[in-house]
């Protein structure tokens, strides 16, 4: 079974497919579906209240006994809240924690001391080395084509083999991976699996608003925008990749160089009574009301290959089936790998 890699033993999952912990979007329903289907889910809990995190962990456990993790972002969370978030994860004995953005060695040390497996998503070789030195067990190498916040400047095709060569721990590929063929590519580039956001955003169980899912389906790979305008709640100059919409068009070509203090904090939506401002990093959720299609519609360049909203189990099954078929074709010297019409929109 070439698709079973050592990370499957570390994470105790059947398939080397990790569902990215997307803030707001990856809640208990999605994570339970992913882990039940044999992949590995992460609750996206950035800046969530500790009580909510505890309830979400309990909700996944009520649905499945398969392992899953929690995603937190130290750099984008007020320090006392971050400490409380990590405390609740450790008290609940979560299986793993996935951190993102700048490397926070203290957070890694606390999570390790609490008995967690630690994954760190990074965007450069330098940060990969720092995360491993801090004690991370698995590095997730995020390429520039990724949806959501984009940490680095190099594409997955180029970054992944360099990170895999630079660290001793297992590496997982992130950014642009949504198909079985891309899983095979990740394995051939030194990765031990793939970490997918966009592919799992477009599932029935994701908590994203339908307008976000539909925008993703309609978008081609040229329709994403890399900008640091959506900066409220994050450190200045934290770029994201979003699907182009009225908010990005309004930037008039000035996509980078924005500061949260310079932006006009106009309320355009609400979520459970909470105001949501234009250029906030909150994406529209099932519970968001207002001008939802003007918010940050995070999405990666692989949106051009994601053309259906399906249950998460189906997405995982399709990726695995396509990866196995691709490997089979390589073994039998069958080129091209698949008919052209299946190369796009195969999901
Ligand atoms: C809607 C959305 C929300 C995201 N939120 C987070 C987050 O809260 N924490 C995090 O570590 N990464 C987040 N990401 C980035 C993912 O971890 C991952 O790097 C990215 O989705 C991979 O690229 P892909 O979208 O091409 O699969 C988000 C991505 C998307 C699409």
pLDDT tens digits, the chain, 347 residues: what are they? 569 999 999 999 999 999 999 999 999 999 999 999 999 999 999 999 999 999 999 999 999 999 999 999 999 999 999 999 999 999 999 999 999 999 999 999 999 999 999 999 999 999 999 999 999 999 999 999 999 999 999 999 999 999 999 999 999 999 999 999 999 999 999 999 999 999 999 999 999 999 999 999 999 999 999 999 998 889 889 999 999 999 999 999 999 999 877 776 789 999 999 999 999 999 999 999 999 999 999 999 999 999 999 999 999 999 999 999 999 988 887 765 555 555 444 44
Domain that holds residue 253: 210-303
Would the CB of 136 count as within 6 Å of ligand 1? Answer: no
Residue 141, in any domain of the structure: yes
- Clarify whether residues 295 and 319 are in a common domain: no
What is the model's pLDDT at position 2? 66
46 lines ligand 1 (CB under 6 A): yes
pLDDT of 1 reads 58
Same domain, 299 and 235: yes
234 and 320 assigned to the same domain: no
Is the preceding peptide bond at 336 cis, omega within 30 degrees of 0?
Answer: yes
Question: CA-to-CA distance for 227 and 150, rounded, in angstroms?
Answer: 9
Q: Among 56, 179, 197, which residue has the most ligand 1 atoms within 8 Å of its CB, making it the best to mutate?
A: 197
Residue 332 CA to ligand 1 center (angstroms) comes to: 36
Does one domain contain both 202 and 215? no
Is residue 340 domain-resident?
no
Q: Is residue 231 part of a domain?
A: yes
Ligand 1 center from residue 200 Cα (angstroms)? 10
d(CA 284, CA 219): 17
- Looking at residue 163, which CATH number applies to its domain? 3.20.20.70
* CA pair distance 302, 320, nearest whole angstrom: 17
Contact present, 124 and 97 (Cβ < 8 Å)? no
CA of 148 to the centre of ligand 1 (A): 5
Kindly give the distance from the C-alpha atom of residue 23 to the centroid of ligand 1, in angstroms, as a whole number.
Answer: 8
Ligand 1 atom 3: residue of nearest CA: 22
Specify if 337 maps to a domain. Answer: no
**Residue at 335 is within a domain:** no
Q: Is the CB of 100 under 6 A from ligand 1?
A: yes
* Residue with CA closest to ligand 1 atom 4: 22
Residues 59 and 160 in one domain: yes
| Number of domains forming the structure of the chain | 2
Residues 143 and 16 in one domain: yes
Q: Does ligand 1 lie within 6 Å of residue 24's CB atom? A: no
Residue 197 lies in a domain: yes
Helix (H) or strand (E) run with residue 16 in it: none
Say if ligand 1 is within 6 A of residue 72 CB: no
For 295-330, give the DSSP string.
Answer: S--B--GGGGG----B-HHHHHHHHHHHHHHHHHHH
**Residue 295 and residue 197 share a domain:** no
Is the domain of 242 the same as that of 196? Answer: no
> Residues 99, 201: one domain?
yes
For residue 310, what are its two tokens?
Answer: 């399906």
* Cβ-based neighbour number of residue 90 at 10 Å: 16
**63 located within any domain:** yes
126 and 268 in one domain?
Answer: no
Global pTM reads 0.96
Q: Tell whether 232 and 173 lie within a shared domain.
A: no
Q: Are residues 26 and 169 in the same domain?
A: yes
Within a domain: residue 334?
Answer: no
- Determine which residue's CA is closest to atom 22 belonging to ligand 1: 175
What is the CB neighbour count within 10 angstroms for residue 55? 13
């Amino acid at each position: 079974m070439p698709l079973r890699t050592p990370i499957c033993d570390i994470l105790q999952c059947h398939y080397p497919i990790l569902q990215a912990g997307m803030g707001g979007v990856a809640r208990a329903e999605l994570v339970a579906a992913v882990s039940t289907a044999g992949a590995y889910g992460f609750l996206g809990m950035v800046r969530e209240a500790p009580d909510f995190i505890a309830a979400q962990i309990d909700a996944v456990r009520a649905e499945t006994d398969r392992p899953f993790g929690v995603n937190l972002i130290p750099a984008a969370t007020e320090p006392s809240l971050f400490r409380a978030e990590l405390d609740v994860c450790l008290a609940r004995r979560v299986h793993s924690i996935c951190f993102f953005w700048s490397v926070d060695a203290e957070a890694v040390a606390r999570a390790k001391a609490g008995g967690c497996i630690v994954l760190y998503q990074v965007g450069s070789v330098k940060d990969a080395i720092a995360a491993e030195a801090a004690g991370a067990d698995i590095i997730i190498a995020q390429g520039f084509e990724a949806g959501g916040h984009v940490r680095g400047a190099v594409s997955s095709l180029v970054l992944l083999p360099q990170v895999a060569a630079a660290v001793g721990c297992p590496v997982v590929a992130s950014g642009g991976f949504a198909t079985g063929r891309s899983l095979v590519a990740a394995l051939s580039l030194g990765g031990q699996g793939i970490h997918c956001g966009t592919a799992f955003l477009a599932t029935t169980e994701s908590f994203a608003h339908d307008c976000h899912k539909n925008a993703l389906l309609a978008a081609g790979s040229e329709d994403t925008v890399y900008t640091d305008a959506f900066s409220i709640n994050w450190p200045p100059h934290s770029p994201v990749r979003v699907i182009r919409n009225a908010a990005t068009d309004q930037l008039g070509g000035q996509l980078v160089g924005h500061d949260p203090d310079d932006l006009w904090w106009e309320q355009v939506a609400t979520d459970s009574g909470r105001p949501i401002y234009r250029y906030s990093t909150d994406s529209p959720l099932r519970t968001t009301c207002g001008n939802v299609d003007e918010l940050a519609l995070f999405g990666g360049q692989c949106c051009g290959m994601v053309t259906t909203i399906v249950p998460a189990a189906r997405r995982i099954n399709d990726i695995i089936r396509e990866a196995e078929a691709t490997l089979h074709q390589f073994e039998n010297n069958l080129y091209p790998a698949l008919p052209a019409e299946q190369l796009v929109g195969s999901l």
